[in-house]
Chains A and B, each alone.
Chain A
Amino acid sequence: MDAEWIRGLAGGILIGLGGAVYLLGNGRIMGASGILGGLLDGSGRSTAVERLAFLAGVFTVPLLIGTFADGTPETHITSNAAVLILAGLLVGVGTRAANGCTSGHGVCGISRLSLRGIAATAAFMFAGILTLAVMRRLLGVI
Chain B
Amino acid sequence: MLRIVLSLTAGGLFGGGLMLSGMTDTARVQGWLDIFGRWDPTLAFVMGGALLPMALAWRLAEGRRPAAGGRFPAPPRAELDQRLILGSLLFGIGWGLAGLCPGPAMASLSYGGWQGAVFLAAMACGMMAAPRLSRHLDRRAANA
Residues in chain A within 8 A of chain B (CB atoms): 4-5, 7-30, 32-33, 36-37, 40-41, 49-51, 53-63, 65-66, 72-79, 81, 83-99, 101-103, 105-112, 114-117, 119-121, 123-133, 135-137, 142
Contact = CB atoms under 8 A, between A and B. Distances in A.
Contact of B115 (A19, A21, A77, A111): A77
**DSSP class of B's interface residues: helix, strand, loop or mixed?**
helix
Measured as residues with beta carbon below 8 angstroms from the partner, the interface class of chain B is: 35 or more
A88 B126 contact: yes
14 contacts: A7-B22, A8-B42, A11-B20, A12-B17, A17-B17, A18-B17, A32-B103, A77-B113, A87-B119, A91-B126, A93-B90, A103-B103, A108-B54, A136-B37
A137 to B, nearest CB: 5
Interface in B58-73: 58, 60-61, 65-73
Contact of B76 (A79, A115, A136): A115
Interface of B: 2-27, 30, 33-37, 41-58, 60-61, 65-73, 76-80, 83-103, 105-113, 115-116, 118-131, 133-134, 137
B10 A25 contact: yes
A15 B83 CA distance: 27
Q: Which of A54, A75, A81, A101 has the most C-beta atoms of chain B within 10 angstroms of its own C-beta?
A: A75
Contact of A124 (B47, B92, B122): B92
